[in-house]
Structure 1
Amino acid sequence: MPQEKADLRNLSEPVRFKRALALLLMTLVLPGSAQIVAGSKRAGRWAWRIIAGLLAIVIFLVILGLIWRSGTINLMARPGTLRIIQVLLILLAIGWAALFVDAYRIAQPMTLERNHRLATSILDAVLVFVVAGALIWASAFVNTQRDFVASVFGNGQKSKAEHGRYNVLLMGGDSGADRIGTRPDSMTVASIDADTGRTVLIGLPRNLAKVPFPAGTPMAKQFPNGFQWSKCAAECLLNAVYTYAAGHKNLFPGDPNPGETATTQAVSAVTGLKINYYVLIDLAGFRDLLNAVGGITLDIGKRVPIGGGSSPIKGYIEAGKNQHLDGYHALWFARSRAESSDYERMTRQKCVMSAMLNQLSPQTVLTKFQGIAAASKQVVKTSIPAGELGTFTDLALDAKKLPVSSFSAVPPLIHTGNPDFDLIRTKVAQAIQKSEALDKAASEGDGKTTEPPKSTSTKKPSTPAKKPTTSPTKPANDVDDVASICKA
């Protein structure tokens, strides 16, 4: 060390200053290199080993992501994995800051003239602040992700795809101060192809009466002829199943979510589909979620009132192309009933879902994740386990590339007061078969799209369509392309 100090004194002051800057910049580009060149070679080698190990892990994960995207996302989204990453980022921040401080020491700033010593000190402080600060911010970001996954996604049982499809019940719950309990006023089944992500949205009106329940379930024993009894009459509708089950928890011993369970079972019986999971969104907080992602853009064909019903109309969302809606206006666009029917409202809700699917890019989610996570913890409840997050993220990325189709069980095809459930199940099966035919044509090169299925798993045919028992007047097109609906 004395010899090194003597050598430094033999250098001109400008050279010593350039050497000091070089040592700091070397630490920025390759941590440990300053120690290898002019300090403790042992410390430098340890820094290089750690960097090499981290790079190897990153390269492995990138390759794994290219081969098995959903599995990689599942691995990285686990709360335990995220906790490890958070701790590693904090340790990396501390270690890198220590290397900057040591590089500053090696540069021997006291041998520099005042201005050069000040410049070196400022540069070192800035580098420590920027690099360590960025890593600490990243650790906070990871902690938000971990908290989000732990809060929103549970440790529930994984549900396998049925006939090659995942069926997820999307419910919009409205539990305001003027409401008795929670009533999911919006119910849509997203039937998702487990290979391609192609999605069919199946809309069920909230006022569907006499809904059945699967045999052997508590509600089927309570209502063997469907959800109806002499005392509730018109109140025994699909959206009241949730409230009834939540108020009769004794029918569901040990079940912490009887409302969701009963509603899921009813929807399964109505559509003929196995419902794998549910997602319940509190509409009162939906506005914050949409604001967090920057709103959505829609083509609006008819102006929609803001307010109405028990409150006065405060204004209108005007018709027009490429209308950008913030959370407040998007929520009213989705939920407004004034001057329209429930069935028109169902169509608007599908437009909002489709817009969110198509417009929420991974970049948007990443850059605005803190706000999304904070809002989602308040408004989203789901039975999708954390271990399936990667599967559905993967499917969502594929679904963005494909058009979304839909079927709604609404008049004149379906009389909601006395529904033909066989007909509903028939139309649901036909909608799914039509969607699967598009994938088959694409895989055979007959369609306009050429994307092959992601996996080579053998898919069972969808539930065969039952012959309708009645033949009421039907719309010109039972299965709609959502993109064609949501246009001015």
Structure 2
Amino acid sequence: MNESRDADRVSRARSGGEHAAHVTRAEHRRRRPRQGLGRALGLTALSAVVPGAGLLPTRRRGMGLVLVALAVAALVAVGWWVSREGLTSTALQTAADGGRLRTIIGILVAGTLVWIGSISLTALMTQPRRSSTGQRVALASFTGLLCLVVSAPAVMGVRYIDSHLDAMDKVFTDGTVGGGDADDGAVATSSLRPGEDPWVDLPRVNMLLLGSDAAEAREGTRTDTMMIVASIDTRTGDAVLFSVPRNLQQVPFPRDHPLHEVYPDGYDCGDQCLMNAVWMEAERHAEEEPGLYAGDPNVGLTATRRTLETVLGVPIHHTVIVNLEGFEDLIDAMGGVTITVKEEIPINGRTFTDANGKLQLDPNSPQLEWLQPGTQRLNGFQALGYSRSRVLSDDFDRMRRQRCMVAAVIDQANPMTLLQRYPAIITAVGDNVVTDIPRQDLGAWAELTLLVQDGTLKSLPFTAQNTDTADPNYSNIRYRVWGALHPAPEPEPTEEPAPAVPTEDVDGATPTGATEDAPTTSPVDDGSATTTEPADELEEIGTVCD
């Protein structure tokens, strides 16, 4: 009997214990899904913050450690690089290096895929057992959202870089402008050879900025709106802008150019033979005598550049052509440009020629708009009108406004603005700008751009106040250019006569070395310079524009 009672007690005890254990497990199962879901969500989010970090508490801890180490190493490497080069310099150097940009695309794509993989693996490893359908859907939706969040910057970055590379292919032509291919033996318009440091033997680099109203500046056109030569000190970034009037007459062609044989005494046929007509004249002559221009991909641009070299007495190393119709898009992409307007300027109004042959403004033009005097922020339409209008002024006042616009764009194109509005800006640039700067030199140009923004910017226009455009004295023009590029030191030493150059270098031919190196001697002042200082002198651009 005792044994039977003992057996019954043991049996009841076991039954009670099993029942208690069953109750405990049931309670655990009721609570575990909710707690497991929270843990899964938290660890998955942690992997979205630091790739692989959410795997550390799981069986995939080794993989998590590797991913975290790679992420930390990448951040340290980028931080060290930026701290060494500076944020702005790093950004410009990277933007100028097509190979580096393509490498970044590869790293972005691969890194993002690994990151998405770590998020998905974390969710899979931490998903609660026996979770409900709703909980599984919640975890999957949360994981998908995190994958979208981490992939969005990469997608945007790839889009930015792809747009940038596309614009580089359009803008930078590796030494040729207007057709031809360097690999086909075309004569490059640039006199510099690509290299890692193009400024080693070049104290100043001179760039021709041409503005055109044509829809396709790359195919050759008559440059009728803007001709500015920017001479930049490659060590300090100090720059001088020279404005050349479009109506300059009797311009001299260099002796080795085919047009010199046609016009040995200068481009002289009255008011039809102006500086802005050289492009079309060269194209016309090339149609008649194609053999004289063999290998030249753009005879109009080459003739314009070589003629301006002769006029100013300095070599022109690079050319930038801007389609001014697209200039409006560029300014809008930048968010506008701040300019001090000196006088009322009409834009977008109809014009007519009066009985005296003078251009007049129709005051009843339906779309006529006026820019009022004062410092203001102009949109693209207004900026283009400011740069082109000459109805109530003249070419020379327009030249002044164009120099002010160039200076304002240079000064206000800060890296943050470029970054924020980059897609629109790079699209506008790619569609409307072309240059012969070789891609290999873009890194050096990026550094030079920073120097220019910190350097001084001066202006020397050639206007009716200091130049007779109908009968110019090119010796005096070259003399003034040389003086602007070789200012006397501050305290001025005892004056000595400036060394003279051979007379044949100032009689309409390109000065010695003008197509290869900057002149090293001062042009002769033949006494034609006026003794009273003209109003249009070399001065800081702020004095002219503010």
Q: Same fold (TM over 0.5)?
A: yes
Distance 2:87 2:112 in 1: 31
Kindly tell me the number of residue pairs found equivalent between the two proteins. Answer: 454
Q: Give the alignment partner of residue 19 of structure 1, picking from 39, 44, 69.
A: 39
Q: Does 1:87 align with 2:87?
A: no
Corresponding residue SS for 2:247: coil
Match in the other structure for 2:257: 217
What are the superposed Cα offsets for residues 282-325 of structure 1, whole Å, 9 maximum, x if unpaired?
11111111111111111111011113545845424333322111
Normalised TM-score (structure 2) = 0.76
Moved more, 218-227 or 155-164: 155-164
- Report the CA distance shift for 1:341/1:474 in structure 2 as closer, same or farther (over 3 A): farther
Identify if the C-alpha distance between structure 1 residues 191 and 332 changes in structure 2 by more than 3 Å, giving closer, same or farther: same
8 Å Cα contact 1:309-1:337 kept in structure 2: no
Q: Give distance in 2, aligned partners of 1:31 and 1:163.
A: 48
Question: Match for residue 134 of structure 1?
Answer: 153
Aligned counterpart in structure 2 of residue 241 of structure 1, from 262, 275, 278: 278
Identity %: 29
Letter of the aligned partner of 2:433 in structure 1?
V
1:381 to 434, 441, 444: 434
- The answer for unaligned runs of 5 or more in structure 2 is 1-27, 176-189, 353-360, 493-516
- Aligned partners of 1:91 and 1:414: how far apart in 2? 62
Q: 2:240 aligns with which of 188, 197, 200?
A: 200
**Which residue of structure 2 aligns with residue 291 of structure 1?**
332
Question: Given the alignment of the two structures, is residue 58 of structure 1 paired with residue 97 of structure 2, yes or no?
Answer: no
Mapping of residues 42-441 of structure 1, within 5 Å: 42-48=62-68, 50-51=70-71, 54-55=74-75, 57-59=77-79, 61-62=81-82, 65-66=85-86, 69=89, 73-74=92-93, 76-109=95-128, 111-112=130-131, 117-156=136-175, 158=192, 160-161=198-199, 164-175=203-214, 181-228=221-268, 232-249=269-286, 250=290, 251-306=292-347, 307-310=349-352, 312=362, 314-434=367-487
What per-residue deviation string (whole Å, max 9, x for no partner) do you get for residues 387-417 of structure 1?
2223223222222234421001111211011
Structure 1 spans left out of the alignment, 5+ residues: 1-7, 441-458
Deviation at 1:37, TM superposition (A): 3.1
Closer, same or farther: CA 34–143 of 1 in aligned 2, 3 Å: same
Task: Sort the Cα spacing of 1:398 and 1:329 in 2 relative to 1 into closer, same or farther, 3 A.
Answer: same
Bigger Cα Rg = 2
Matches of 2:61 and 2:255 in 1, distance apart?
73
Q: CA deviation at 1:181?
A: 4.0
Shift of residue 113, structure 1, vs aligned partner: 5.6
Structure-1 separation of matches of 2:87 and 2:401? 38
Cα distance change on mapping 1:481 and 1:358 into 2, 3 Å: same
Separation in 1 of the partners of 2:351 and 2:157? 47
> What's the offset of the Cα at 1:334?
0.3
Give, in angstroms, the shift of residue 73 of structure 1: 4.1
Aligned to 1:452: none
Tell me, in whole angstroms, the C-alpha distance in 2 between the residues paired with 1:254 and 1:52: 54
Distance 1:221 1:99 in 2: 73
- Give the TM-score normalised by structure 1: 0.84
TM superposition shift of 1:75: 5.7
Does the Cα contact within 8 Å between 2:463 and 2:536 map onto a contact in 1? Answer: no
Would you say the 8 A contact 1:109–1:120 is kept in 2? no
Residue in structure 2 matched with residue 467 of structure 1 by the alignment: 525
Amino acid of the structure 1 residue aligned with 2:210 = M
Q: Which secondary structure state, in structure 2, belongs to the residue aligned with residue 169 of structure 1?
A: strand
Alignment-mate amino acid for residue 396 of structure 2: Y
Residue 502 (structure 2) aligns with: none
Greater shift after overlay, 474-483 or 365-374?
474-483
Tell me, in whole angstroms, the C-alpha distance in 2 between the residues paired with 1:20 and 1:67: 38
Q: Deviations over 1:171-196 (max 9, x none)?
A: 1012269xx94324210011111012
